[in-house]
Structure 1
Amino acid sequence: MSNQRSGRLSTGGGTVREYLGEMGPSWVAGAIAAGPATMASLIAAGASFNYTLLWVVVLSAAAGAVAQFLAMRLGLLTERGIVGVVEAHLGEVWAVILVVDVVVVAGAAQFVIMNTAASVSASLTGVDPRIWGLIWGVVLAAGLAGRGYRFIELLSKALVTLVVLAFVASLWVVPVDYGAAATGLVPSLPTGSGLVAAGILGGAVHITLITMQSYTMRARDWTFRDYNLATLDIGISMLAAFGVYSVAVFLVAASVLSDPELTAIGAAETLGPLVGDSAGTLFLLGLGAAAVSTLGGNTAVPPFLVADKLGWGTSVSDTRYRLLLAGFALGSVAGAFIGGEVISQLVLVLALGTLGTPFAIAIVLYLLNSDAVSEPSSTLANVGGLSLLVVSGTLAVNFLREQIGSGIDVLSGAVLAFALVLGVATVILGINYVREEVLV
């Protein structure tokens, strides 16, 4: 089945419907990328700097596609989960660091995303957000533990499609000055725009997206013979769907919003009086779909890596993995009881992801240029990967500099310690690579 599938794709046979039906792993990554944290960054960028940062929005989709391509290549060449590959070729300590990195980042994100999903659901229905948290937790646990990966993929495809359609539809009722928007394609960074730009890029190039790719492809039984299909999957989900989503949200915010402190939900409520209730409703529906789609994909990430490290199966056919998945889904209900303004929480979560991402990129680049794979990366792929490493590392350093400048408390101190551990690990990994792969 797998060979026939990729063979048709390679020779130009088959139908578009067949290819779309076979796609899926990168749609799960796209569902996480098109989440409320990314939306918050896009709204802040448009509301604060009008169309100036459109080039960053476009660049983020391309950067996200490059990151997924590298992760895809590693997964297909090894045909194993990333944790197993790291443990086999780098050692157990590196595998443990990677698992802890992902669990901390994705676990923190899970609570905040649940809070966002519950808040949006409450805004749409008037029902208490805590009740919505319980509902979403049960839906996730039943769907994921009952159907496993297929439930995640179907949910991601449906909701990402809804998100894209909702925001594209918003463009029809929001007065966008496309001539002025075109000027935003010329790279420039106005004063004070650095952190906002970092947030936009950080949402597309994220540790959870990089590490989950090998597991979602394994769930589809993809091998290296499915290389073309996997590449097309990334192109349509990250470059096209995620790219359109990002541009649409940014253009809506840049066209009619002018408050840089506006929240995501507040943006939807503000659009009504400005350009009509239909725009506000569409925006809120898009936000809700983005939160739920991100929640579904993110729920699966820590169980994938933990199960792999423990030597368990990473499908619901293994009861231990199923219980782990259900437990993580139900545990996320606590996020709906956090309360408070979700935007500031999302910023912290995105920052944690930014701190954890350089290490994951370094791991992937190391393995792609070692004896872990039969075909080392091309120069172009390595240049792209190193560029991502530099960008993500710069974003992490900028965030830490801001944290240190504003003073160290218990929470920021914990974040700083987390960053230092990963920073040292990344440097040591680089030294090991030079010593073992370059100087031999």
Structure 2
Amino acid sequence: MSTGGSTVRAYLSEMGPSWVAGAIAAGPATMASLIAAGASFDYMFLWVVILSAAAGAVAQFLAMRLGLLTERGIVGVVEDHVGEGWAVVLVVDVVVVAGAAQFVIMNTAASVSASLTGVNARIWGVVWGIVLAAGLAGRGYRFIEFLSKALVTVVVLAFVASLWVVPVDYEAAATGLMPSLPAGSGLIAAGILGGAVHITLITMQSYTMRARDWTVRDYDLAALDIGVSMLGAFGVYSVAVFLVAASVLSDPELTAIGAGKTLGPLVGDSAGTLFLLGLGGAAVSTLGGNTVVPPFLVADKLGWGTSVSDTRYRVLLAGFALVSAAGAFIGGEVISQLVLVLALGTVGTPFAIAIVLYLLNSDAVSEPPSTLANAGGLGLLVVSGTLAVNFLREQVGSGIDVLSGTVLAFALLLGVATVVSGIKYVREEVLV
């Protein structure tokens, strides 16, 4: 008979899918938002940082529930229960958002690697592309899960360690638990929350659980996985990065890489090195997790397998990893590129949340979610939708160019799709 302690140890050894999601969430875009929040508003946004981890856990819980109750990838479920056109929209949404993010994340990973080693960033881009292709196509999902667990652990430890050498005023930090939104802070709030509640994290969950052969019998294990990775590891990571930035940084224009370099002369080289190591780990872990998302959905839509046992999926995965190396050749300052990625992710997420809620409350699953779970999902939909609208308003207000115009068109398409999906649900599931 197993004891409580041995059961917990068994759970810890079996966890994984939500760690891959957590690795993507703890990425350079999230870090840039946390740094900007701390450098611009001191400790005032601590409540948003904590809320983001909770919101991310709710989003993962809903996606987990859908995946376990259907035991299928989300694209196939959408195709059967909502319609083929809706499945196509979802795939396009993910490919555009995750694809754009892949290039910018690669640029960030290569830049950090260059800062730490002195080797040219373009060389690092090629190296990381080959490592990803060889690791993912060779070993499949288990490789990315192992990488995510290891790197997220290192990242969390690095930033927690930096708190020991950075003078944090914890009494002042406590005042940031009181909710407030200063003028001009909407974009930063969107960045913090958007890092945890993101379309790539929501849509990948069913595939990573299938890779683990999880079923509804693994419900408790999946819930623990979310709690430890999103509420635990990602929450600690976010709070630690934010407290470091709020304590010693005062330049709101600082980039993530610049923050690491600035910490050296301010509070010692050890803090700067730890920060850059944490940033490097976050960039690489995010890069690895993000690489598997578009191939999962595209393969599912084409009727292919979603593991490396299917040669077509293996080639698709390796090809996406290798092409992403081009991100290191983009050059330039990554902060403006992260803004574009943030915009795409922010406007792409409400549609994914709406689709998950639609399916969870339809005949796609045998057991509908609780009222509390539905309320949490609707809250996420309202918050993500509001953030998307505010983000677009700020972007349009600053003038429409080719990039912002593309984002706006993308947002309008998905906004219409989200509203129509709601009308479709009411007509087919409520008014019958």
Structure 2 matches for 1:107-126, cutoff 5 A? 107-126=99-118
One of 199, 204, 213 as aligned partner of 2:191? 199
Aligned to 2:148: 156
In structure 2, C-alpha distance between the alignment counterparts of 1:310 and 1:44, rounded to whole Å: 41
In structure 2, C-alpha distance between the alignment counterparts of 1:17 and 1:378, rounded to whole Å: 29
One of 305, 310, 315 as aligned partner of 1:313? 305
Higher mean displacement: 183-192 or 129-138: 183-192
In structure 2, C-alpha distance between the alignment counterparts of 1:435 and 1:158, rounded to whole Å: 47
Match status 1:70 vs 2:69: no
- Per the normalisation by structure 1, the TM-score is 0.97
- Per the normalisation by structure 2, the TM-score is 0.99
The Cα of 1:17 is off from its aligned counterpart by: 2.8
Unpaired runs of at least 5, structure 1? 1-6
In structure 2, C-alpha distance between the alignment counterparts of 1:304 and 1:93, rounded to whole Å: 18
* Secondary structure of 1:14 counterpart: helix
The Cα of 1:21 is off from its aligned counterpart by: 1.1
The count of corresponding residues between Structure 1 and Structure 2 is 432
What CA RMSD, in Å, does the superposition of the two structures yield over aligned residues?
1.0
Structure 2 matches for 1:339-350, cutoff 5 A? 339-350=331-342
Unpaired runs of at least 5, structure 2? none
Structure 2 matches for 1:362-377, cutoff 5 A? 362-377=354-369
Aligned to 1:186: 178
Structure 2 matches for 1:168-247, cutoff 5 A? 168-247=160-239
In structure 1, C-alpha distance between the alignment counterparts of 2:157 and 2:32, rounded to whole Å: 19
* Secondary structure of 2:6 counterpart: coil
Match status 1:435 vs 2:427: yes
1:365-413: CA deviation from partner (whole Å, max 9, x where unpaired): 0000000000001100000000000000011101111122122222211
In structure 2, C-alpha distance between the alignment counterparts of 1:399 and 1:182, rounded to whole Å: 28
The Cα of 1:16 is off from its aligned counterpart by: 3.1
Structure 2 matches for 1:11-410, cutoff 5 A? 12=4, 14-410=6-402
One of 412, 422, 425 as aligned partner of 2:404? 412
In structure 1, C-alpha distance between the alignment counterparts of 2:4 and 2:267, rounded to whole Å: 45
In structure 1, C-alpha distance between the alignment counterparts of 2:402 and 2:182, rounded to whole Å: 33
Amino acid at match of 1:38: T
Percentage of identical aligned residues: 89
Aligned to 1:3: none
In structure 1, C-alpha distance between the alignment counterparts of 2:396 and 2:186, rounded to whole Å: 17
The Cα of 1:13 is off from its aligned counterpart by: 6.8
Note if contact 2:186-2:391 (Cα within 8 Å) is conserved in structure 1: no
In structure 1, C-alpha distance between the alignment counterparts of 2:73 and 2:350, rounded to whole Å: 19
* Secondary structure of 1:376 counterpart: coil
In structure 2, C-alpha distance between the alignment counterparts of 1:15 and 1:373, rounded to whole Å: 29
In structure 2, C-alpha distance between the alignment counterparts of 1:380 and 1:294, rounded to whole Å: 31
In structure 1, C-alpha distance between the alignment counterparts of 2:51 and 2:8, rounded to whole Å: 27
In structure 1, C-alpha distance between the alignment counterparts of 2:190 and 2:133, rounded to whole Å: 33
The Cα of 1:100 is off from its aligned counterpart by: 0.2
In structure 1, C-alpha distance between the alignment counterparts of 2:401 and 2:100, rounded to whole Å: 18
